[in-house]
Amino acid sequence: MQEDMEYNIRFVGSYILDKTLGVGATGKVKLAKHSRTKEKVGVKIIKKDLFYDKPSLRLKIQREISVMKLMFHPHVIKIYDVLEDSKYLFLIIEYASKGELFNYLVEKRKLENREALKFFHEIISGLEYCHKHRICHRDLKLENILLDMKLQIKIADFGMASLSIPNIMLKTFCGSPHYASPEVVSNEPYNGIKADIWSCGIILYALVVGKLPYDEENDNMRKLFNKIRFEPPRIPRIIHPDCRDLIRALLTINPQKRITIDKIKKHPWYKSSPLPESCRISIQNLSFASVQNPISNPDPEIISFLLPLQLVKDKKTLCGILSTKKPSFLRVLYRQLEWRKMKMDSVRSNLINEANFKRKKLFKQGKLGNITGLKYWKNLKCKFLSINIKSFVRTGIYIYF
């Protein structure tokens, strides 16, 4: 860490930074460990200077944080906290130690039927959760699906995500061309949920065949898009017949005829192996009727995460809608954020209590090595306090920028 003079950060809140996991256009992602619970996390470090040159980037990150705050599922990457100092924004996210599904597939070339189905079960479970909470990912691809230490799926990178509002079609072309649906590459208004289903078909094809169904030499985008728009995928006959049938249903060119998640779950290939325990969680649709009670004193932190979704023009309008008895999509989102906040606080408290219990047990056993290690970190913090410790706040970034 000492060689990283540009960032020169050793601690972020309660987290001790370690090695760099990756470098992107907006900054670095570092591995970190909580000083008390020892939980490993990823810390995405973003320079605030970028927001002055690229206002659209600030909005994109605001929306990504707000969307991630809406979700809590075993197969969707979690965001634990958002911290900041005068120069940087820090996103504390779940750590997926086995990296991208893309790299895993490159190493194995292609997957056997049972392993591919296990991954597909978990992808569909996570995606169903997103869709039932009105969130379209819009950039599903092997690189944006991560694996944790148990090789469980974590859907990540919600930078292109959008809310699926009833009776409103999306228009923005986004995502990766090789995974984009025919209606998206045709620059037509599209349903984000149906576009995500197509991307799942591309992923499943890649898992069992070992390559993408649509590709073009020299990256000729015009030819690639024409293939996507007009040519059904060619699936090798060595692929299991039921799997071939599901891939065709997923990669149906007409979005109106494309298979839905409910029908995917009833498909013979999908049902040919028991669901993983993590995929058996019942997911309820967000209901307008269940959140009719007005919200007269909204939580400022939750408000700060609703505003970047740009469903209303300002805070006053938002609070006015929340305080009425009229059914509102915004109130549904508010209650979802409220529930998730309580859930995360509960998880954090459990981790701290567990860590404290283990520490007391070690001290009682007289394991002096642990005491020595604790003293080392305390001394290290004191040593670097004047130049490395930043002042942080838990942020509603819409307020502080």
CA dist., res. 266 & res. 268, Å (int): 6
Residue 98 burial by CB count (10 A; 0-12/13-18/19+): exposed, middle or buried? middle
Q: Is 139 designated active site?
A: yes
CA dist., res. 395 & res. 86, Å (int): 12
State the number of CA atoms in the 13 A half-sphere of 28 facing the CB: 15
Q: Are 269 and 242 in contact (CB under 8 A)?
A: yes
Neighbours of 69 (CB within 10 A): 23
Residues near 305 by Cβ (< 8 Å), separated by ≥ 6?
65, 66, 69, 337, 396, 398
User: How is residue 76 annotated by DSSP?
Assistant: B
CA dist., res. 112 & res. 209, Å (int): 10
CA dist., res. 324 & res. 5, Å (int): 52
Give the relative orientation of helices 329-364 and 368-388 as an angle to the nearest 10 degrees: 130
Q: Which amino acid is at 165?
A: I
Structure tokens at 395: 């942020």
CA dist., res. 38 & res. 336, Å (int): 29
CA dist., res. 182 & res. 164, Å (int): 19
> Strand 79-84 to strand 393-394: parallel, antiparallel, or no bridges (unpaired)?
antiparallel
Q: Is 257 annotated as a binding residue?
A: no
Q: Are 204 and 240 in contact (CB under 8 A)?
A: no
User: How is residue 190 annotated by DSSP?
Assistant: B
Q: Which of 269, 277, 220, 265 is nearest to 247 (CA)?
A: 269
Structure tokens at 37: 């619970």
Structure tokens at 343: 């859930």
> Strand 145-147 to strand 88-94: parallel, antiparallel, or no bridges (unpaired)?
unpaired
Q: Which of 49, 53, 85, 139 is catalytic?
A: 139
Q: What is the dihedral of CA 319, 321, 327, 332, to 10 degrees?
A: -40
- Which are the catalytic amino acids? 139
Residue ranges for the binding site for ATP?
Answer: 48
